């Protein structure tokens, strides 16, 4: 396994030590992405949690965010900018925007339309981040499966998630913006702010086809992407055309970041969370580093690992995160 390596997409919201002990064992570091999610602790508490975790074993960096508490009032933008600047001053390595922009019934304009990422009210934030050289991380929309019936979804993890979270299953919420509308809004922002350093999380939410991800990476040269919670989609495509998938990682080796999207919120014990991280790290490494015949829990069938060159593995599992987020690691 690559050592040191970085899990560049987690949510560390509990003060437990097992995950840090595991990280020390693997010489691993975390990028914990603070997110305005209703069932998370609040943004300030998320930031303080990372400081607490780092007191004894400094293995975690964090990404800040902002909320929509005062939306549709004059207080919203000053409040959001204050949150962003406070997070950056506290050491944040970037700013996250979640899928609630475009997928929240409470975020609408005066005409009752859903607010999308390209709403002009976000422009001052994008301009500030662009001018300051601060990276924007964006979870835009959801996997395309979200707009399909459960039985037509391509992987079991999506079927299970959207069955448990029907409020986010867009097939059942047809008055919400379409998948294509969500993606187009994101693309328009990147066109308007070409100097913005951008990470399209979850394979730009275009996980179903790496050719679509490649088009965005080509079109927006200041963009990167991450693999968090979408590696099973990569494996599904590998089963059908391994060489095409492998070539994608060779061609875009400088633009891809590894991450698991593990949520450490207390729903599992500290030991179970650490075990989950270790299992994912080892399983994902096997897929990218070897050509072993493998299976995935999310779909039927087998596939061979990609066996990427060591130089590319180091980029995906370590150095791309270091350069994208300007991490000060040994």
Reported confidence tier of residue 45, pLDDT bands at 50, 70, 90:
very high
Question: What pLDDT, on the 0 to 100 scale, is given for residue 56?
Answer: 84
Query: From the CA atom positions of the chain, what is the Rg in Å?
Result: 19
Write the pLDDT tens digit of every residue in 251-267.
Answer: 999 999 999 999 999 99
What value does the mean pLDDT take over residues 231-256? 98
Taking the C-alpha atoms of residue 7 and residue 232, their distance in angstroms, rounded to an integer, is: 17
CA distances from 208 to 75, 82, 100, 171 (A): 39, 37, 21, 17
Identify the bridge partners of residue 29 per DSSP, sorted by sequence position: 6
Confidence of residue 110 (pLDDT cuts 50, 70, 90): confident
Position 184 scores a pLDDT of: 98
pLDDT tens, residue by residue, 126-184: 999 999 999 999 999 999 999 999 999 999 999 999 999 898 899 999 999 999 999 99
Which residues touch 120 (CB under 8 Å, ≥6 apart)? Answer: none
Q: What are 320-329's pLDDT values in tens digits?
A: 999 999 999 9
DSSP collapsed to 3 states, 50-81: HHHHCCCCCCEEEEEECCCCCCCCCCHHHHHH
Whether the predicted pLDDT of 330 surpasses 80: no
Q: What is the mean pLDDT of residues 51-71?
A: 95
So what's the pLDDT on residue 57? Answer: 85
């Amino acid at each position: 396994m690559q050592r040191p390596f970085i899990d560049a997409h987690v949510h560390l919201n509990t003060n437990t030590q097992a995950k840090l002990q595991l990280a020390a064992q693997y010489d691993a570091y975390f990028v914990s992405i603070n997110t305005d999610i209703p069932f998370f602790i609040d943004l300030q508490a998320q930031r303080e949690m990372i400081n607490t975790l780092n007191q004894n074993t400094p293995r975690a960096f964090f990404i800040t965010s902002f909320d929509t508490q005062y939306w549709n009032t004059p207080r919203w933008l000053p409040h959001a900018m204050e949150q962003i600047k406070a997070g950056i001053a506290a050491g944040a390595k970037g700013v996250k925007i979640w899928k609630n922009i475009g997928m929240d019934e409470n975020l609408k304009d005066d005409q009752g339309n859903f607010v999308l990422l390209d709403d002009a009210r976000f422009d001052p934030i994008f301009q500030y981040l662009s001018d300051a050289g601060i990276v924007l991380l964006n979870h835009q929309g959801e996997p395309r499966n979200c707009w399909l019936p459960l039985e037509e979804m391509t992987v079991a993890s999506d079927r299970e998630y959207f069955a448990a979270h029907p409020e986010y299953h867009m097939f059942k919420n047809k008055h919400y913006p379409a998948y294509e509308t969500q993606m187009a809004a994101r693309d328009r922002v990147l066109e308007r702010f070409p100097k913005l350093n951008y990470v399209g999380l979850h394979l730009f939410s275009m996980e179903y086809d790496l050719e679509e991800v490649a088009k965005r990476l080509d079109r927006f040269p200041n963009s990167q992407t991450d693999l968090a919670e979408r590696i099973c989609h990569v494996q599904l495509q590998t089963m059908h055309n391994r060489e095409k998938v492998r070539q994608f990682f060779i061609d875009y080796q400088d633009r891809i970041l590894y991450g698991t999207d593990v949520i450490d919120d207390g729903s599992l014990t500290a030991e179970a969370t650490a075990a989950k991280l270790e299992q994912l790290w080892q399983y994902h490494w096997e897929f990218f580093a070897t050509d072993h015949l493998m299976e995935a829990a999310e779909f039927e069938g087998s596939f061979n690992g990609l066996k990427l060159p060591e130089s590319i593995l180091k980029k995906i599992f370590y150095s791309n995160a270091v350069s994208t987020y300007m991490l000060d690691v040994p």
